[in-house]
Amino acid sequence: MRNIAIIINKNWEAEPALAAMCSAEFRPISLPFPTVLISNQDKKFTSDKARAVFEIHESGDTSKPIILQAKVWCIQDLMDKSKSSSSSEEKYQVLTKMLNKESPELIIAVGTAGYYFDETSYAGSVVVGSRFFVHNGKTKNEPNPLTNLLLPEFETLLPQNVNPDLFTKLFPPHPLSMKPKIEPKMLRVPNNPTARATVLASQFYTAVGSVNITDYGEYAWVDAESVNAFRAVNQKLPIGSLETTHGVIRLSSLAPCIFVSAITDREGHFELEVNPGQNYVSSFNAGVVLAQMLADLGILIAQSPTFSFTP
């Protein structure tokens, strides 16, 4: 049995993503309803259990062995509620503990994010990639008293640690390969929506993250700082998303890792474009993409049982 960990950042992101993944209208028919499903309950919800467990059996027959098990985790569930829910330090601590225990073969990091591409809106679309860059949004001289995660890998392009063939298998080069399966199910965000919500997937997309930021207002300048820090290291790789947690997830384990970013806004427009409705719809669309990815992973494992997630 192959095992995957889908790790969603906040509980208000996990709720809509799971709504899509569990819906008979929005998930592929080949993806069974989860065998375990835990309600969001409220923002103070605490649990050391996975939110949902999806199991795909050989030939889709529940009397046959499970070939793929995917557990959906919410980081905020695992965190100490006396700490800021945006604490990079607390996220890293709970993630390393959980992932060391679970030992997944593949990690999928999920969360809402901004998009860096001039003034064009991609709000409502979903970006999938496998490169990571983490910028410390606070200086050592002025640390954030609520979170002070410091790792030697910050300010460097993290090496790709997933088999690039995974992208050609899940997202074949033909531009219409997955779009007809996903786009009709994706919802329109309320603020400055993209002309057509879609999935943008490439092994070269990079998640550029800012850590140790707990005040959302600071995104106004920290995102731009992160972009400049990344470009000082690499001029060529495309920026897939701007957020806070994908890189923390990547650094919490040695397991192969990819990211799924639910795009809510344009870089520099967080205050204008992001609200609960924007977050909910974008996260729901990420759930649509995740459901299709799981179904296709089930097909991939059935056809190639020895397929390696490592390069």
| pLDDT tens profile 171-186 | 987 656 777 889 999 9
The yes-or-no verdict on residue 22 having pLDDT over 90 is yes
| pLDDT tens profile 195-215 | 889 999 999 999 999 999 998
Classify 5 as helix, strand or coil: strand
What is the predicted pLDDT for the residue at 272? 78
Closest CA to 66 of 77, 47, 53: 53
The predicted model gives 10-33 an average pLDDT of 96
What is the predicted pLDDT for the residue at 119? 75
The predicted model gives 58-78 an average pLDDT of 95
Instruction: Count Cβ atoms within 10 A of the Cβ of residue 265 and give its class: 0-12 exposed, 13-18 middle, 19 or more buried.
Output: buried
Ranking 31-35, 58-62, 154-158, 215-219 by mean pLDDT, the lowest is 215-219
What is the predicted pLDDT for the residue at 118? 64
What is the C-alpha to C-alpha distance for residues 23 and 126, in angstroms, rounded to an integer? Answer: 19
What's the pLDDT band for 80 if we cut at 50, 70, 90? Answer: very high
| pLDDT tens profile 104-135 | 999 999 999 999 876 789 999 999 999 999 99
The yes-or-no verdict on residue 39 having pLDDT over 70 is yes
The yes-or-no verdict on residue 43 having pLDDT over 80 is no
Domains of the chain by residue range: 2-303
| Topology at the third CATH level for domain 2-303 | Rossmann fold (3.40.50)
The yes-or-no verdict on residue 141 having pLDDT over 70 is no
Q: Which residue has the higher pLDDT, 266 or 155?
A: 155
Average pLDDT, the chain: 93
What is the predicted pLDDT for the residue at 142? 83
What is the predicted pLDDT for the residue at 228? 94
293's enclosing H/E stretch is helix 276-303
The predicted model gives 35-43 an average pLDDT of 84
The predicted model gives 148-170 an average pLDDT of 95
Instruction: Count Cβ atoms within 10 A of the Cβ of residue 73 and give its class: 0-12 exposed, 13-18 middle, 19 or more buried.
Output: buried
The yes-or-no verdict on residue 40 having pLDDT over 90 is no
What is the C-alpha to C-alpha distance for residues 51 and 158, in angstroms, rounded to an integer? Answer: 28
Let me know: does 17 contact 120? Beta carbons within 8 Å.
Answer: no
How large a percentage of the chain has pLDDT more than 70?
Answer: 98
| pLDDT tens profile 224-277 | 899 999 999 999 999 999 999 999 999 999 999 999 999 998 887 777 788 999
The yes-or-no verdict on residue 189 having pLDDT over 70 is yes
Classify 127 as helix, strand or coil: strand
